[in-house]
Amino acid sequence: MSSNIRFDVCTGTAIKFAFVASALALVCTTGCSTKNYVRSQTAPIVQQTNELDAKTATDHRNIVDTDERAQKGIAGAQSAADTADQHALAAGQAADTANASAQNAYNRVDSLAGVVANLDNYKPVTDVSVNFAFDKYTLTAETRRQLDDFAAKVVSGRNFILAVTGGTDSIGDRDYNYQLSQRRADAVVNYLSSKYNIAPRKFYLIGIGKDQQVASNSTSAGRAKNRRVEIQMMTNMADQQGGSHAAAPNGQM
């Protein structure tokens, strides 16, 4: 009886061990299967995430490179623009200097008397009067045509001077009008001097705009006539006739 009991106890214990072992094996198998499943499902996600990180890093490097090239390009363009501006400024300053030098070479006087030697020998040969718009001193196409016609008679002459008188109407400040009349006279003289190679010393800018009116300022037509520059060509008739050689203006012609 006791031996049967011991057998049953051993048999029950063995069964319990077998059951536990089976359970552990099942748990182990299930756990491994679960891990493998999870690994198989997450692996593509991890790979995609890594690829996305790599692409993001590559894009960032490309953006940085592009930005650097853009900044270099902008800096280069700005440098070229600055250089061009400097050249333009230098050219403008040179032109202003040349223009100022040319204007300084013109004779600015109140009258020819006491300035031109033997003035009595000089006789008017031809003249022209060109008009300007209100408060303007730029030459128009019509003004240039008139000056071209006048210059055609001048360039063939010899021993001559050009008396230039500028004017304005009575509207506005007197000092401003004086300066405006000077600009008008300078515009005419610069045009003739540069285009037809007439020496600046040939020009005598006389009493520019000093209340020298040629018409009444009470009407618009009269004011339009006063906004003008008159140019008169005067030739030394003594030289033209082969007489005694009179002294030229400033001692030369």
Of residues 188, 215, 201, the one with CA closest to residue 127: 188
Distance from chain centroid for Cα 59? 39
- In angstroms, rounded to a whole number, what is the distance separating the alpha carbons of residues 217 and 219? 5
**For residue 165, what is the DSSP state?**
E
Of residues 165, 174, 173, 148, the one with CA closest to residue 206: 165
The alpha-carbon radius of gyration of the chain (Å, integer) is: 51
Along the 253 residues of the chain, how does pLDDT read in single tens digits? 555 545 454 455 555 555 555 655 554 555 556 666 666 777 777 777 777 778 787 877 888 777 778 787 777 777 777 776 676 565 555 444 445 445 567 999 888 887 888 888 899 999 999 999 999 999 999 999 999 999 998 987 878 999 999 999 989 888 999 999 999 999 999 999 999 999 999 999 987 866 678 898 899 999 999 999 999 999 988 766 654 444 444 444 4
Using an 8 Å Cβ cutoff, are 215 and 225 in contact?
A: yes
pLDDT of residue 244: 43
Residue extents of the structural domains in the chain: 1-105, 107-251
C-alpha angle with apex 220: 218 to 225, nearest 5 degrees? Answer: 95
Q: Which CATH number fits domain 107-251: 3.40.50.720, 3.30.450.40, 3.30.1330.60, 3.40.50.1260?
A: 3.30.1330.60
**For residue 248, what is the DSSP state?**
P
Burial class (CB in 10 A: 0-12, 13-18, 19+), 132: buried
Helices and strands (DSSP H and E) totals, the chain: 5, 5
Burial class (CB in 10 A: 0-12, 13-18, 19+), 125: middle
pTM for this model (two decimals): 0.55
What is the number of other CB atoms lying within 10 angstroms of the CB of residue 103? 18
**For residue 122, what is the DSSP state?**
E
Please report which helix (H) or strand (E) contains residue 64, including its range. helix 2-105
